[in-house]
Amino acid sequence: METPPLRWGILGTGGIARTFTADLLTLPDHEVVAVGSRSAESAEAFASAHGIPRAHASYQALADDTGVDVVYVATPHSGHASAALTCIAAGRGVLVEKPITVDAASASEVVDAARAAGVFCMEAMWTRFNPAIARLRELIADGAIGELVSVQADFGFAAEYDPAGRLFDPALGGGALLDLGIYPISLASMLLGEPSTVLATGGTAPTGVDANTGILLGYPSGAVAVLHCSLRGGTPMRAAIVGTQGRVELPAPFFKPDALTLHRDGAEPVHERFTLPGLGYTFQAEEVARCVRAGRTESDLMPLDETLAIMRTLDRAREAVAVR
């Protein structure tokens, strides 16, 4: 018997919704069957542009669409929690764009609701499912570079200042940490777990959100993570994972790598390349399908407990730089 396609609903009609939908439409075993927006006009325009059969004029109407298996939540950060809870209450699985919410407390509310309802829930940290990152995990697990010593990563660009824009408006969950810092923090979390020490310093934008933040994470093993995120200047956007017997380097942009280089002490560097179909989002969609078809409500590659730990780390970093 053929496996029926996974039926997606798209909640939100902004740039990231368009990007993810474009990749979904390249997958033969996935269908985008509905879109929901706060206005009928926006939903209908999005549906027309992407060939989606149903357009809903509210998030609740999308959540109530029984022809949808999983809803991709693509609102600004500040809307993630309420949208996800609406979908979960209606029995829909959710893939929630990163960060899953704006703080650990609201993230716990979403996770608790999904677990109580027995529906699928995952944070859309698309980097986690990239083949170069999968290879990185294999190398670390095989002891290719020995015991981990440090993770170094950065993500920054010079953003045009707009106090009402998503990146700078506190009401929309603005700031470098939530939008960019989550990538290096998630990488460190994947490799080292939840830190015992979180130190951070930096500067803020006129709206009060963090605009340039350096983060130092400490772990019980003695390993450290040295991370940087910025809305004020372009950074190399590379990552290095250092061990007692070598290191692995991820090229720019490290959150969408198509290669890695393994440096073993006393050996020539080994370069590996990987194919990235589409815009790089197909891998996370395939992970959702794998889990849902297996009857799983969580991914073991991006588990909800780790998502909560990452949110706690973000909270601690934000507290250290005195922003809300």
Give me the sign of the Cα torsion angle 61, 65, 68, 69: positive
Residue with tokens 């309420």: 82
Q: How many CB atoms lie within 10 A of CB 210?
A: 28
Distance, CA of 30 to CA of 296 (rounded, Å): 18
| Active-site hit among 30, 77, 80, 98 | 98
Distance, CA of 297 to CA of 294 (rounded, Å): 9
**Cα-Cα end-to-end distance for the chain:** 52
Q: Which amino acid is at 292?
A: V
Indicate if 256 belongs to the active site: no
Distance, CA of 62 to CA of 54 (rounded, Å): 9
Q: In what order do the strands lie in the sheet with 30-36?
A: 54-56, 30-36, 6-11, 70-73, 93-97, 121-124
- The 3-state DSSP class for residue 118 equals coil
Best CA proximity match to 38, nearest among 8, 89, 74, 88: 74
Positions annotated as catalytic residues are 98
